[in-house]
Amino acid sequence: MRITKFGHSCVRIEHDGKVLVIDPGGFTSPESVDGVDAVLITHEHPDHVSADLLRRTDAEVFTIRGVADHLAAAAPDVHERVHVLAPGTGLTVAGLQVETVGELHAVIHEELPRVHNSGFLVSDGQTRLFHPGDALTAPGEHVDVLCLPVCAPWMKISEAIDFARGVGAARNLAIHDEIYSARGLAVADGHLGRFLGAAGHDYARLPEGADLG
């Protein structure tokens, strides 16, 4: 499994000649979707889904009802390729096993309604990667690589640390990292590297287009 980090929360996975991309949104470079076979979208917020990027590919899109409804209204041409996934769904996408995890976005503020959100547990039979979207809902299963949200309006750094330690993945790849400045990210990286390193887990934040080696 080749794992490439693109802007913000977008992760590209390549395996056996097939390509799967998760959450190509408004902060993501267009080349993230070039040549993809399938796209997974965790929720409807624009930093996770971009109709313009989805129009760059004819790949099938797998997502939850809230995103499907959003695309039906905003991009009916894209909606024709959308497959709706229910909570707890398991399926094969681009040659990879995918399980949906969770149902709701993390709380931003108690006065704001919570949109639906589904994380994705992706496996090639050897490596298991978990992308939670905008939630700290653990899959309750073994994870080798955790796509770890680093900075968000709905999260503080202690929650990121505790979530990563609770999931217990050997490797943690920083995502949701376009909210802080470079200086702020350096602070977050310092905390996460220190706490996760003490627990025996690796932490990495990669530049755009870099692979998790």
Range of the domain at 129: 2-97+118-204
Residue range 55-101, pLDDT digits in tens: 999 999 999 999 999 999 999 999 999 999 999 999 999 999 999 99
* Spatial distance between the Cα atoms of 17 and 22, rounded to a whole number of angstroms: 17
Let me know if residue 110 belongs to a domain. no
Q: Retrieve residue 151's tokens.
A: 């900075």
Q: pTM for the whole thing? A: 0.97
Residue range 4-49, pLDDT digits in tens: 999 999 999 999 999 999 999 999 999 999 999 999 999 999 999 9
Average pLDDT, the chain: 97
Let me know if residue 210 belongs to a domain. no
Residue range 192-202, pLDDT digits in tens: 999 999 999 99
Let me know if residue 102 belongs to a domain. no
Query: How many domains are contained in the chain?
Result: 1
What's the chain's length in residues?
Answer: 213
Tell me what pLDDT residue 198 has. Answer: 97
Let me know if residue 106 belongs to a domain. no
With vertex at residue 50, the alpha carbon angle to CA 44 and CA 148, rounded to the nearest 5 degrees, is 65
CATH of the domain at 46: 3.60.15.10
Let me know if residue 109 belongs to a domain. no
